[in-house]
Structure 1
Amino acid sequence: MRFAPGRLIMHRNVRHGRIGWVRAGRVVSDDERGLLIFVPRYAPVAHEVTAAGRGMRTMPFAEWVTSSYRLAGGRWNGPPVLKFLPAGAAHSVWWFSDVEGRFASWYVNLEEPGVRWDDGDVAGVDMIDQDLDVVVRPDRTWEWKDEEEFAERLALPEHYWVTDEAAVRAEGWRVIARAEAGEFPFDGTWCDFTPPPEWVTPEKLPDGWDRPPVR
């Protein structure tokens, strides 16, 4: 399954069969290397919150897993971001820009490989975010991110969606080695990307964005 350039698709994170978050983005390219998506500032999004409206990061994980949940809509408040999902890989690489639109850093999101779906009017890719990440600076120095959250959640294996800590870290080290060597996609590719002017940011998520996960 390939998505046509310019198509609006849903990038969704799935936790134990529930949608954790959704971000609407447009397809930049989709080929044998993988899927490249652009998420503009203020793109429509949704994320899981408790009945009281609190997000997972606002409370201890032990409290989160005993809560009831709903999906809350919103807007992407971060800078414009490119997301590259390499074919079959257990990670994605994101390009973050600064407020002036200049490349700022790469972000390695460790995740179980995405599974695509296409319902005609709406389509997307579902993955499982493994929470531990790596930030790679333009000079290719790097650091782990969210290690404390990762450790906190691993301590509750009956509730956590990550089952193999060693595999997650091993994938991170593999990508770090490529980043340090300046190999694709850390070789400057897409660092100067600008979206076509005709790409309009939608006002809301399209009908069907919350269809049952396939991952």
Structure 2
Amino acid sequence: MTGALLPPGSIAVRRDVFRGRVWTQAPVRVLASDETSAVAALWPGVVTLAAARFVESGGGRDKALRSAALDDLAGGGWDLAEWAWRWTGVVTEIVSGRWFSVARMYAEDGTLNCWYVNFERPPTWYASGWDTMDLALDLVVEPDGKWHWKDEDEYAQCRRLGVITDAEDAALEQAREQAVALVEARAGVFGADPARRWLPEAGWALPTLTES
């Protein structure tokens, strides 16, 4: 493939796919792209699809329902429901071959809340977007550079359930080291000025799944 993976300014779709079934589906606006990476944005009001039990949990806030959603995932039985994104603007960098994406999470006024490292399968690119699969573990990096792991309990649950294989676990061990090294070196997206604000431009329509 030559040129940009996705056309900047276009609407693409990010999907989590597990054993051939869609787990989540979200429309995003492509901000930038080249032959190996893309940067995409999502902001409050964008309607996505997610596993119904996850939606019922309030987007993951009810831990018991969130745990039950992972049981559904392992069992292969779930329905999708609409979920309107809320709380933050999100600008995410996705890189070919990398076992994590890095999102900048912005408050309503455009200030940076944190960097959010989402460990996931490397992207499979299409003309209309990409497929991946969330692997439960996250790394949260504060604007001052302090960081902590998130959802290690859910990662352990996914390992017990067989959702995450031994090979994926080994890949994530390396990915953890890579991500922490980038954070501590303030390299790549972590080198951006944390005082820089971001808001979607006033003329942008909300991305929708029907545009993809």
Report TM bin, short chain. 0.7 to 0.9
The alignment status of 1:59 with 2:63, answered yes or no, reads no
> In structure 1, what is the equivalent of residue 145 of structure 2?
140
Tell me which amino acid in the other structure corresponds to 1:14.
Answer: V
Tell me which amino acid in the other structure corresponds to 1:149.
Answer: E
TM-score by length of 2: 0.84
* Greater share of helix: 2
Contact 2:31 2:41 in 1 (8 A): yes
How far apart, CA to CA, are the structure 1 residues paired with 2:33 and 2:73?
A: 36
Count of paired positions: 200
Instruction: Provide structure 1 residue ranges, at least 5 long, that are not aligned to the other structure.
Output: 210-215
> In structure 1, what is the equivalent of residue 7 of structure 2?
4
> In structure 2, what is the equivalent of residue 100 of structure 1?
109
Over 3 Å counting, the alpha-carbon distance change for 1:33 and 1:58 in structure 2 is: same
Counting only pairs closer than 5 Å after superposition, residues 1-215 of structure 1 correspond to structure 2 as 2-32=5-35, 34-49=37-52, 57-59=66-68, 61-62=70-71, 65-66=74-75, 68-118=77-127, 123-157=128-162, 160-163=163-166, 164-188=168-192, 191-202=196-207, 204-206=208-210
TM-score by length of 1: 0.82
Contact 2:17 2:132 in 1 (8 A): yes
> Per-residue deviation at 1:161?
3.9
Over 3 Å counting, the alpha-carbon distance change for 1:192 and 1:61 in structure 2 is: closer
Instruction: Provide structure 2 residue ranges, at least 5 long, that are not aligned to the other structure.
Output: none
Tell me which amino acid in the other structure corresponds to 1:192.
Answer: R
Percent of aligned pairs with the same amino acid? 27
* Greater share of strand: 1
Query: RMSD over aligned Cα, in angstroms?
Result: 2.5
Contact 1:24 1:45 in 2 (8 A): yes
Contact 2:95 2:123 in 1 (8 A): no
